[in-house]
Amino acid sequence: MMQTAIDITEMNASASAEAIIEALKAVYDPELGVDIINLGLVYGLTIVGENVQLLMTLTTPGCPLHATIEQDVLRNLEKVPGVGWIDVQIVWDPPWTPERITEEAKKQLYWL
Amino acid sequence: MIPGLGGRNSLPFAIPARFLLTGALAFCLAWSALLFNPNLLLGSVREPAVLALVHTLTLGFATMILVGAMHQLVPVLLITNLHAPRWGNVTYGFLLAGALCVIFGFLAGYQLWLILLGGGLELLGLLLFNLNLYLTNKTATQKGAVSHAVLAAAGYLSFTVLLGLLNAAARASPALGRLLGDITPLHLSVGLFAAFMLAIAGAGHKLLGMFTLSHHAKAWPLTALIYLIHAAVALLLLDALLHAGLWRAAGIFFAAAGGLYSYDTYALLKGRMRRRLETPLRGYLGGSLFLLLSLCLALAGAWSAAVFSVLAGFIPLAIAGMLVKVGSFLAWQHRYAAQVGKTAIPMVRDMTVVQLSALSQWGIGLGAFTITCCLLWPSQFLATLGSALATLGAWSLLLHLLWISFGKHPAKPKAPSAHLKGHTP
């Protein structure tokens, strides 16, 4: 089954990547009703000690939900044990395409 | 902060909402007025009362909604902040006062001074809006066919009003009238196709792709459509000067642009991931059928029916479909965005009511079809039925927008995603 790749780097990580990704599954795109992990919006995750840097995108450049989603990401990551400083970077390159959606979410979205 | 996404110059909800709700109210009033006097459809389409109806639909409804939606859409397309969001309040004041003067100028039996005053106010409002867009465009971080289409459409809206103003001035001054000739067809063509169709094609390309998750449609049909429309307008202007029959070529260009619009819509739908089309989007697509109907009617020489097919069918259905989507998105941001993660909130789609969407679209669509038929085969029954259906559709649309803006929306459980495991660390 095709799955969405997230580039993960861990160095002396005090929080696990799995816990962080699980927390990000609580961040939803309010239009599509699917979380940002299964939408494939997260490109990269770097954990150095308790510092977390998240590289992500949105479904469309200039999406007005930028601030809302970023706040929700911060709020959810703050709850993860071992996470201290958080940096969320939103990028448009490479642009997001629906191919990044996980197969399960594609099935869910197909008739949504 | 990424430009276009908030900060000091972020757009207050009240600005676009005011345009959208006023536009929807004007739509209701236009069809309700026709319901009380359906015989208007049986007389000349140049009767002042019919012109009042037409200008309520164009200035009161379509222009208001397109300008309101562009306040939100243009910064997203250009990935920048709107230069001066609060100029929107002034634009709104000019457009509202202008539309009222023009409409009552016609209703009062063609009061030229009122029509000229209204046209002047409308033009000032649109010029201010265009200046705002021009200054916004200067700080754009991304440009493309969609932003080109939307910005050009905004320019053509101003040009349409200028032509209308000149048309009215020509009636007041016989010398100017002789100089200009009859520019009504030019005014009508630029308004319906260069302003409204271009705005719908541009915004639709972006929004339909976004809402159906279709990311593979090429930009060339839209780019070609834009240049065809520019060429058609240039031909019409030349024809107004030379009287060389160039309007026929312009007509072919507009028809080809309509064909490209249909092809672009088809390509977007073909590549979509969300197979089930939401009700508002089905209404948007239903509008395309009226564009096709209009082309057939124009080829058959039924000009009034062709114009009403666009005015009462294509434009309202396309606008109403996207209005529900854009309106719910705007209202969600205003009402719920700050509560994300703190309390249970509805998703954007939980704010809409499928039944109201369907009722408004069927009402508008069947009403427009019946009215078009009435112009082909005049009948009081068809006139009454058409205006009743359109009125039902219009009020359903307004009710739906009010529910989206102010209703108490249920926070339904989110689609389960805990079982979705898709990522590869």
pLDDT digits (tens, 9 = 90+) for B323-373: 999 999 899 989 998 888 888 889 998 999 999 999 999 999 999 999 999
Are B273 and A98 within 8 A, CB to CB?
A: yes
Are A108 and B340 within 8 A, CB to CB?
A: no
Does the structure show a pLDDT above 80 at B424?
no
Average the pLDDT over B256-270 and give the result: 94
Average the pLDDT over A35-55 and give the result: 94
What number is the ipTM of this complex?
A: 0.84
Of A31, A38, A62, the CB nearest to B4: A62
B121 close to B161: Cβ distance less than 8 angstroms: no
Are B425 and A112 within 8 A, CB to CB?
A: no
Peptide bond preceding A94 in cis form (omega within 30 of 0): yes
Which of B4 and B111 is assigned the larger pLDDT? Answer: B111
Chain A, chain B: beta-carbon pairs less than 8 Å apart: 133
Does the structure show a pLDDT above 60 at B6?
no
Say how far apart CA B84 and CA B208 lie, in whole Å: 27
Taking the CA of residue B6 and the nearest CA in chain A, the distance in Å comes to 7
- The sign of the torsion formed by the CA atoms of B4, B5, B7, B10 equals positive
- Cα atoms in the 13 Å half-sphere on the side-chain side of B164: 31
Q: Tell me the per-residue pLDDT of B87-128, one tens digit each, with 9 for 90 and over.
A: 999 999 999 999 999 999 999 999 999 999 999 999 999 999
Using pLDDT thresholds of 50, 70 and 90, give the confidence band for residue B313.
very high
**pTM of this prediction?**
0.91
Looking at residue B414, its pLDDT comes to 63
Taking the CA of residue A101 and the nearest CA in chain B, the distance in Å comes to 8
Taking the CA of residue A9 and the nearest CA in chain B, the distance in Å comes to 9
Are B422 and A68 within 8 A, CB to CB?
A: no
Alpha helices (H) in B213-353, listed in sequence order: 220-242, 247-270, 279-299, 303-308, 315-335
Residue-level length of chain B: 425
Using pLDDT thresholds of 50, 70 and 90, give the confidence band for residue B420.
very low
Return residues 308-327 of B near A (CB < 8 Å).
Answer: none
Residue B87 token pair = 């100029």
Are A37 and B422 within 8 A, CB to CB?
A: yes
Looking at residue B419, its pLDDT comes to 45
Does the structure show a pLDDT above 90 at B242?
no
Residues facing residue A5 across a β-bridge: B424
Are A67 and B79 within 8 A, CB to CB?
A: no
B242 part of contact set with chain A, CB < 8 Å: no
B210 part of contact set with chain A, CB < 8 Å: yes
- Best CA proximity match to B199, nearest among B98, B58, B4, B391: B58
Are B420 and A108 within 8 A, CB to CB?
A: yes
